[in-house]
């Protein structure tokens, strides 16, 4: 998350947008073909390609699904991730027209700052520094040691 904010600022001379637009354009063309077909195979391909769309939240959810340890638990995780994001996505689609252009422009400037802050918080929490609320100390329990009362 931190790199997604800093990389465009650091790499001024490298044009990442052209690569991104080409990549997304190719995916869109495959999506278009698959949506025109009405078969189980095309829906399966659409589901697979959906994971290749550039979206940090989807990547985080995929990492969470992989961390579940088995396919059924991972599939359930992704199902609930999709169901959880559905209301917000529908709201953004249907209510987006009510938001002024000025407010959207201001929001576009705030989003990278928020992503950076959340990324730094995730890093701090993972460092296990013992800072109350910010990076709490997590006690490891050794599975080999059992306590009997």
Most confident of 24-28, 74-78, 104-108, 131-135: 74-78
Q: Answer yes or no: are the C-beta atoms of 137 and 130 closer than 8 Å.
A: yes
> What tens digit of pLDDT does each residue of 64-116 get?
899 898 999 999 999 999 899 989 888 888 887 888 889 888 988 898 899 88
Q: How many CB atoms lie within 10 A of CB 78?
A: 19
Q: For residues 113 and 108, give the distance between their C-alpha atoms in angstroms, rounded to a whole number.
A: 10
Q: Domain locations in the chain?
A: 2-98, 99-138
Q: Is 99 helix (H, G, I), strand (E, B) or coil?
A: coil
Q: For residues 95 and 93, give the distance between their C-alpha atoms in angstroms, rounded to a whole number.
A: 6
- Regarding pTM above 0.75, the answer is no
Q: For residues 61 and 123, give the distance between their C-alpha atoms in angstroms, rounded to a whole number.
A: 17
Give me the residue label for tokens 């609930």: 80
């Amino acid at each position: 998350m931190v790199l997604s904010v800093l990389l465009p600022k650091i790499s001024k001379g490298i044009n990442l947008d052209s690569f991104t637009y080409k990549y997304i354009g190719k995916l869109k063309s495959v999506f278009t073909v698959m949506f025109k077909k009405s078969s189980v195979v095309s829906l399966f391909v659409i589901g697979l390609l959906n994971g290749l769309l550039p979206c940090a939240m989807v990547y985080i959810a995929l990492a969470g699904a992989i961390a579940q340890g088995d396919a059924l638990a991972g599939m359930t995780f992704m199902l609930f991730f999709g169901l959880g994001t559905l209301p917000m996505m529908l709201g953004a689609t249907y209510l987006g027209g009510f938001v002024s252009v000025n407010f959207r422009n201001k929001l576009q400037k705030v989003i990278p700052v928020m992503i950076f802050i959340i990324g730094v918080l995730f890093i701090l929490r993972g460092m296990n520094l013992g800072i109350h609320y910010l990076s709490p100390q997590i006690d490891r329990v050794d599975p080999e040691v059992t306590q009997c009362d």
